[in-house]
Amino acid sequence: MRIVAVVALALLVAGPLRGGERQLKDPEGNVLGLLVDCSSCKQAGEGQKCDLGVADGFHNGADCGQCLLESNFGVGVSTHYDIKITGRLVNQEGQPVAGKFVQMRLPNTWGVKARTTDRGDFLIRLGATRPRKSSTPAALELGELKMKEGSEIYGLFLLPQNYKPCKGKDKDTKKD
């Protein structure tokens, strides 16, 4: 029984994809969506301070955050499995960050927050949105995520595999 659990877990944990995106797979190996990390600076640099996270952030140097939800509104991530996402939030020196929030948002306007423990660990859970096929969740272990100094919330987005990037902010903010 243990070997089955180990094999199943190995199938569920996916390595990084383009620029830190991670695939979320169900126990059958089907891709349910991509987890996009919006908590990096536009231009990476040691000790650099920047605004980032769930409202306005960056992913691979491109705009990320609320604009991703607007670009992908109405396209949901629907699944027959519960979703379980775990990881550890650390500071730039690799020390655990306690009592901060990790927030995951979806284009259907849902959002889930998890507070980190004293060890920096977090757990995000979502229930199945379709009739459940199994009690085994679609699980993703993110490992250590580095939180920038001065940030209150670490921003993640669960998007469809073929999600649309943010539209140009200049075009979207013009007023008549």
Comparison of pLDDT for 80 and 6, the residue scoring more:
80
d(CA 77, CA 125): 14
Structure confidence by residue, pLDDT tens digits, 28-72: 999 999 998 877 655 555 555 554 455 566 566 666 777 888 888
Instruction: Please report, for the chain, the start and end positions of each structural domain, with discontinuous segments joined by +.
Output: 2-164
Token output for 128: 């199945």
> Is the separation of the CB atoms in 52 and 41 below 8 Å?
yes
Amino acid occupying residue 51: D
Q: List the single range of 111-115, 150-154, 156-160 with lowest mean pLDDT.
A: 150-154
> Is the separation of the CB atoms in 20 and 38 below 8 Å?
no
DSSP 8-class letter at 58: E
Structure confidence by residue, pLDDT tens digits, 125-155: 999 999 999 999 999 999 999 887 777 888 8
Token output for 113: 């927050």
Task: Give the model's pLDDT for residue 83.
Answer: 95
Q: Is 134 exposed, middle or buried (0-12, 13-18, 19+ CB in 10 A)?
A: middle
Whole-structure pTM value: 0.75
* 16: confidence class by pLDDT, cuts 50, 70, 90: very low
